Amino acid sequence: MSILVVGSVALDDIETPFGKAKEVLGGSAVYIATACSYFLSPIRLVGVVGGDYPQQAIDFLNNRGVDLEGLQVIEGGKTFRWSGKYHYDLNNRDTLSLNLNVFENFNPVIPESYKKTKYVCLGNIDPTLQKQVLEQVEKPEFVVGDTMNFWIETKRKELLNVIPMFDAFILNDSEARLLANEPNLLRAARKIREMGVKILIIKKGEHGALLFHDETVFSAPAYPLENIFDPTGAGDTFAAGFTAWIAKNDDTSDLNLKKAVIYGSTMASFCVEKVSLDGLRDLSYLKIQDRFRAFKQLSQFED
């Protein structure tokens, strides 16, 4: 089984209370592809970078088994750069600077060899582009879409247009409240499902995540971490773990969706333990399964 990943490819400057990192790997497609690569291969990436994108990054993704045929390299262009600073409690961040560069005119072109990919994970790019991607692939079996407050605020109509094309829609709690214009998270979830969402996942950061599907409501805990180093990419790696688990088992049953949410939480917990992608560099499928089992210890109780 393979997964098509479409999203941003960026170089980040990240400032946390614990330190600074300059020009480190970032972007939703890179986080998603890397996290997915521990579950199955090939992972097919679609994105755009400039000629300044480091060869080291290309090598890293190649080594992780990520197919880069869909990575457009605009020679003479500059890669998307984001610079952000996290506050003391790591729950809030300020964007210090944002240079879209080649990402500004990103036009995702799905290579022929990618078009039959059964699983699709769309990072939080412009919903218009998400739709363009879905119009190019041939009957994917399962599509996971992410978004962010920026698109809810600026491309609401386009977002509402693409949401029903997703099989699973992932957003965080504040985005859910914003999209539904409703402070109660459960009522917000109901409203969003009425927008045509089959499977809805609301991430609550350090408070875990909620899954809604048919009559099922599932509450996943967050992994209790004393040291959260850098939350960048947590949402992307959550989407990755979720999608990859479903793809690996080719199983969208309720039982498996719940496990997929736990795998999403597992990957996010590894991601935030180190800066940038570093938490995803030296993982193994065994380590991932160990943490999955720790989630079970954390939340299961006897009848």
Which residues here bind a copy of itself, judged by CB under 8 A?
Answer: 88-89, 183-187, 190, 204, 206-208, 210, 217-222, 224-228, 255, 258-259, 262, 296, 298-303
User: Please, which residue, 107 or 255, has the CB nearer to a copy of itself?
Assistant: 255
* CA 252/CA 214 separation, integer angstroms: 13
Closer to a copy of itself by Cβ: residue 44 or 177: 177
Which candidate, 95, 62, 60, 64, places its Cα nearest to that of 80?
Answer: 95
30 backbone dihedrals φ, ψ, rounded to 5°: -70, -45
- Name the DSSP class of 79: -
The Cα 67–Cα 70 span in angstroms is 8
Pick the closer one to a copy of itself by CB: 105 or 184.
184
Q: Which two tokens stand for residue 112?
A: 């022929």
Q: Which is nearer to a copy of itself, 155 or 190 (CB)?
A: 190
Min separation Cβ 134 and a copy of itself, Å: 29
19 Cβ contact partners less than 8 Å away, ≥ 6 residues apart: 275
Q: Which two tokens stand for residue 223?
A: 């992994």
CB-CB contact of 144 with 117 (8 Å): no
Query: Which residue number, 255 or 286, has a Cβ lying nearer to a copy of itself?
Result: 255
Instruction: Give me the residue label for tokens 């990419």.
Output: 233
Sign of the CA dihedral running 15, 18, 24, 30: negative
> Based on CB atoms, which residue is closest to a copy of itself, 88 or 107?
88
Contact 14, 82 (CB under 8 A): no
> Min. distance of Cβ 207 from a copy of itself in angstroms?
4
> Are the C-beta atoms of 166 and 141 separated by less than 8 Å?
no
In angstroms, give the least distance from the CB of 226 to a copy of itself.
Answer: 4
Q: How far, in Å, CA of 255 to CA of 235, rounded?
A: 22
Q: Min. distance of Cβ 221 from a copy of itself in angstroms?
A: 4
Residue 96: helix, strand or coil by DSSP?
Answer: strand
- Minimum distance between the CB of residue 231 and a copy of itself, rounded to whole angstroms? 13
CB closer to a copy of itself, 9 vs 222: 222
> How many secondary structure helices (H) and strands (E) does the chain include?
10, 13
Q: Residue 98 or residue 217: which is nearer to a copy of itself going by CB?
A: 217
Place of tokens 């490819």: 9
Closest-CA residue to 61 (of 77, 75, 45) = 45
Phi, psi for residue 136 in degrees, rounded to 5: -95, -25
* Minimal distance, residue 171 CB to a copy of itself, in Å: 17
- Residue 291 C-beta: closest distance to a copy of itself, Å: 13
CB of 279 to a copy of itself, least distance (A): 17
